[in-house]
Amino acid sequence: MIRSEARGLLLSRNVLIEADAELSYLFNRARFGRSRITSQEEKQWFQLDMEEAFYLCFSLECLKVIGKDGSIKSNKEPWEYSKSEKPAFPISYKAYSHLQRKNWVVRSGLQYGVDFIAYRHLPALIHSEYAVLALSKGDNELNGRLRVWSDVHCTVHLCGSVAKTLLVLFVDSNSQGTSYPSCLEHYTVEEETITRWNPEQSREDQTSLRNQTK
Amino acid sequence: MIRSEARGLLLSRNVLIEADAELSYLFNRARFGRSRITSQEEKQWFQLDMEEAFYLCFSLECLKVIGKDGSIKSNKEPWEYSKSEKPAFPISYKAYSHLQRKNWVVRSGLQYGVDFIAYRHLPALIHSEYAVLALSKGDNELNGRLRVWSDVHCTVHLCGSVAKTLLVLFVDSNSQGTSYPSCLEHYTVEEETITRWNPEQSREDQTSLRNQTK
């Protein structure tokens, strides 16, 4: 992918990449972006979320972000732009890259109302396993999820109905601010899963526990 | 139900009612409360949510709330107690009574992470139709739902998967405070449903629209 010298155009909250057959194959294999259908048959366009694009930029260094005039931008510029578009971007990017580094396939969770969906393998082969919410530790005002019980119930119920486990990543900024790249090194991530506790299913265990203590 | 002179015991966020066969039948028919299994076979206990109990108290006047010493409490006392237990109680009670007055069957929405579930008829006969969130207009900090897009997506997706429509009741307190009973008369309710818009399904309509404009 580095050899392909891909260029991505920053548009609102997405990055658009014009891809030839080889690059399309690589994007599809690596599970980055969604292909966009256009009238040009020979060219494919890939639409990347900001987190995906900047992971390719910052971590894998195989994508350059360009402006509308075609000039290549430094990493700092798209970082600042993303923060202005999405104030929680440093938190969600840290969560995204944390999962990517652990070799999970990470996709947008927009349709389920979570930040990401994390798969162990290719989604086509194995059903996705985690619905991920990235929360800023200490300052929940920023993205405001799971502040009330009804939201927790709602999210856990939804995860159950689509056969996923809710994984909450608490990103602690350790008061390091949001300037690139220093902040990312100092951010720490705590993982927590939230599942339903079913008293009917747990009753049997309790009996066996009681038998043991007798 | 008025003749039965029911007495309810206020316990944390619920009201417990000891019911004989006749009262149990009435509660089941009118869809109030959930029956609680105890070791006493001849007596049934019904557990009512605060909104249900106070609707029976305030609006239908067929229930008296008693303290642990057996003394009957005025309506004002349980109102103040409920507010201290659940700050959003005046909002959720207004929403509950608003739906009840329109002859909907209203049940707790706890398991789906919403405030209420509203049915057109008995739940056993017809599938429930609305998942209801009661929000305070202007001051969303109070209960904090639907403040971020991911929460809206999550809730709408969940409603879809359990075949319900999301109904949001915006209760406007019109700066009337929360003192009983004057505040309830001045509160106004705005109803709004939120559903998914499916571009695939809507495409056909668009074509017919285009044909009409031609």
Examine the pLDDT at B157 and tell me if it is beyond 50.
yes
Across the interface, do A145 and B148 touch by the CB < 8 Å criterion?
A: yes
* Chain B stretch 117-176, residues whose beta carbon is closer than 8 A to a beta carbon of chain A: 133, 143-145, 147-158, 161-162
Q: Report if residue B213 sits inside a domain.
A: no
How high is the pLDDT of residue B167?
Answer: 94
Considering only residues A147 and B187, tell me which one the structure prediction assigns the higher pLDDT.
Answer: B187
Does residue B131 share a domain with residue B36?
no
What confidence category does residue A39 fall into, taking pLDDT thresholds of 50, 70 and 90?
Answer: confident
* B157 interaction partners in chain A (CB closer than 8 Å): 111-113, 158
Examine the pLDDT at A207 and tell me if it is beyond 70.
no
Does residue B178 share a domain with residue B93?
yes
Q: Report if residue A175 sits inside a domain.
A: yes
* A161 interaction partners in chain B (CB closer than 8 Å): 158, 161-162
| Structure tokens, B27 | 């509660």
| Average pLDDT score, chain B | 83
Mean pLDDT of B35-47: 79
How high is the pLDDT of residue A31?
Answer: 83
What confidence category does residue A18 fall into, taking pLDDT thresholds of 50, 70 and 90?
Answer: confident
| Average pLDDT score, chain A | 83
Catalytic residue among B94, B164, B180, B187: B164
- Considering only the beta carbons, identify the residue of B112, B143, B147 that sits closest to A154: B112
How high is the pLDDT of residue B123?
Answer: 57
- A43 and B CB contact within 8 Å: no
Across the interface, do A113 and B151 touch by the CB < 8 Å criterion?
A: yes
Considering only residues A176 and B3, tell me which one the structure prediction assigns the higher pLDDT.
Answer: A176
Considering only residues B207 and A118, tell me which one the structure prediction assigns the higher pLDDT.
Answer: A118
* B145 interaction partners in chain A (CB closer than 8 Å): 148, 150-151
- The CATH number of whichever domain residue A14 belongs to comes to 3.40.1170.20
* CA distance readout (Å), B66 to A107, B57, B74, B89: 54, 11, 9, 19
Does residue B91 share a domain with residue B173?
yes
Across the interface, do B161 and A158 touch by the CB < 8 Å criterion?
A: yes
How high is the pLDDT of residue B128?
Answer: 61
- The last residue of one of the domains, among A41, A71, A86, is A86
Across the interface, do A112 and B151 touch by the CB < 8 Å criterion?
A: no
What confidence category does residue B214 fall into, taking pLDDT thresholds of 50, 70 and 90?
Answer: very low
Examine the pLDDT at B210 and tell me if it is beyond 70.
no
**Type of residue at B112:** Y
Does residue B100 share a domain with residue B77?
no
Does residue B92 share a domain with residue B192?
yes
Examine the pLDDT at B204 and tell me if it is beyond 60.
no
What percentage of chain A has pLDDT greater than the value 90?
Answer: 28
Asked if A169 contacts A132 with a C-beta cutoff of 8 angstroms, the reply is yes
Does residue B121 share a domain with residue B47?
no
Q: Is the backbone of residue B33 left (phi > 0), alpha (psi -120 to 50) or beta?
A: left
Examine the pLDDT at B97 and tell me if it is beyond 90.
yes
B76 is catalytic: no
Q: What is the Cα–Cα distance from A90 to A173, expressed in whole angstroms?
A: 9
Q: Report if residue A182 sits inside a domain.
A: yes
Does residue A105 share a domain with residue A68?
no
Of the residues A86, A151, A152, A161, the best mutation for testing chain B's interface (the one with the most B CB atoms within 10 Å of its CB) is: A151
For residue B183, the enclosing domain spans: 87-198
Considering only residues A117 and B24, tell me which one the structure prediction assigns the higher pLDDT.
Answer: A117
Q: Report if residue B142 sits inside a domain.
A: yes
Q: Report if residue A173 sits inside a domain.
A: yes
State how many domains chain B has.
2
How high is the pLDDT of residue B211?
Answer: 44
Does residue B168 share a domain with residue B111?
yes
Displacement of CA B214 from its chain's centroid (Å): 48
Find the closest chain A residue to B149 by CA distance. A113
Q: Report if residue A211 sits inside a domain.
A: no
Asked if A134 contacts A169 with a C-beta cutoff of 8 angstroms, the reply is yes
Does residue B190 share a domain with residue B115?
yes
Does residue A74 share a domain with residue A5?
yes
B93 is catalytic: no
On the CB side of A118, CA atoms within 13 Å amount to 22
Say if residue B199 is exposed, middle or buried (CB neighbours under 10 Å; 0-12, 13-18, 19+): exposed
Q: What is the Cα–Cα distance from A102 to A178, expressed in whole angstroms?
A: 23
* B133 interaction partners in chain A (CB closer than 8 Å): 150
Coil, helix or strand at residue B169 = strand
Coil, helix or strand at residue B190 = strand
- The last residue of one of the domains, among B43, B68, B85, is B85
Examine the pLDDT at A211 and tell me if it is beyond 60.
no
Give chain A as a DSSP string: -TTTTEEEEEETTEEEEEE-HHHHHHHHHHT-SEEE--S-SS-EEEEEEHHHHHIIIIIS--EEEE-TTSPBPPSHHHHHHHHHH-TTHHHHHHHHHHHHHTT-EEEE-GGGTSSEEEESS-TTTS---EEEEEEESS-TTTT-TTSSHHHHHHHHHHHHHTT-EEEEEEEE-TT--S-TTHHHHH-EEEEEEE----HHHHHHHHHHHHHHH-
